[in-house]
Amino acid sequence: MSEPAIVLGVNQYGKAEVRVVKVTRDTPRHEIDDLNVTSQLRGDFAAAHLEGDNAHVVATDTQKNTIFAFARDGIGSPEAFLLRLADHFTGSFDWVTGGRWEAERYAWQRIVAQGAEHDHAFVRSGQEVRTAVVVADGDERHVIAGLKDLTVLKTTASGFEGYPKDRYTTLPETRDRILATDVAARWRYATVGVDYDALYASVRALLLEAFAERYSAALQATLFDMGRRVLEEHPEIAEIRFSMPNNHHFVVDLSPFGLDNPNEVFYAADRPYGLIEASVEREGVPSPAAAWAGIAGFC
């Protein structure tokens, strides 16, 4: 029996993490956009891998320069900016049949000086990093918005009870604990051309409200509450995925020092940690594999 042939599989390439800062200075009051953009092309690149023929290889440096050139006309929402890049590369090169474009957006706010917001001085702000992904697959466009590093905590209204116990279980049950996590979420839009900035602000607010409002029987239950709230409020969103560590806070035993500790002094452990990941979806609505291909981790 002969050995199977060795062939080229799925592939993509591009320029990763292009830091582009766009200052809009049409008036004395400047605006700033700060993005980290990755461009990856998919298509007919077999000859480059198999024969060293670069006739179809749009240089990664060219992709970088295109990002900078497109920023000259303004960035707008990161989703809209990535859609422009996707349309450009798939429309300019016949052999580019699709690709994946990703961005992280970093927030800045104006410095307050002498009681007023400064026109052109900023301080890095934001409680999270905004993310966006656009996947082009032929004529199809998949837009996935998101955020990461949104650190939240509540000091009570959380517990963990009723779990199975065996000889290795030492964790005591509780109905009053700190619940803390770093929310990473991505949500896929059911269509393109929506108001991405307004929807981002709304989703962020809904996630925070759902985290805060109800008693949490476990981080899993809170995660589902957060996702359900978003889908109930926004039919434009088809599904949402989460990756959320359980940032443990352990009550410190102060009895050796003759002190009580009524849930007031905690040790914040950075590792190991529980890691809770799940998607919240609309029943009967399929999740296209192409949209999520290449996203590292669960989301």
Active-site amino acid positions: 15, 60, 248
CA–CA gap between residue 106 and residue 123 (Å, rounded): 11
177 is in an annotated binding site: yes
109 is in an annotated binding site: no
DSSP annotation of 115: T
> Which residue type, as a one-letter code, is found at position 253?
D
12 is in an annotated binding site: no
- The residue length of the chain stands at 299
Report helix, strand or coil for 60: helix
246 is in an annotated binding site: yes
171 token code pair: 């964790």
Closest CA to 123 of 28, 22, 34: 34
Print burial letters for 44-80: b (CB count within 10 Å at least 16), e (below 16). ebeebeeeeeeebebebeebbebbeebbeeebebbbb
225 is in an annotated binding site: no
220 is in an annotated binding site: yes
Query: Half-sphere exposure (CA, 13 Å, Cβ side) for 20?
Result: 29
Beta bridge mates, 101: 39, 134
Question: Residues marked as binding for urate?
Answer: 60-61, 160, 177, 220, 246
Instruction: State the binding site for 5-hydroxyisourate.
Output: 60-61, 220, 246
Annotated binding site for O2: 60, 246
The binding site comprises 60-61, 160, 177, 220, 246
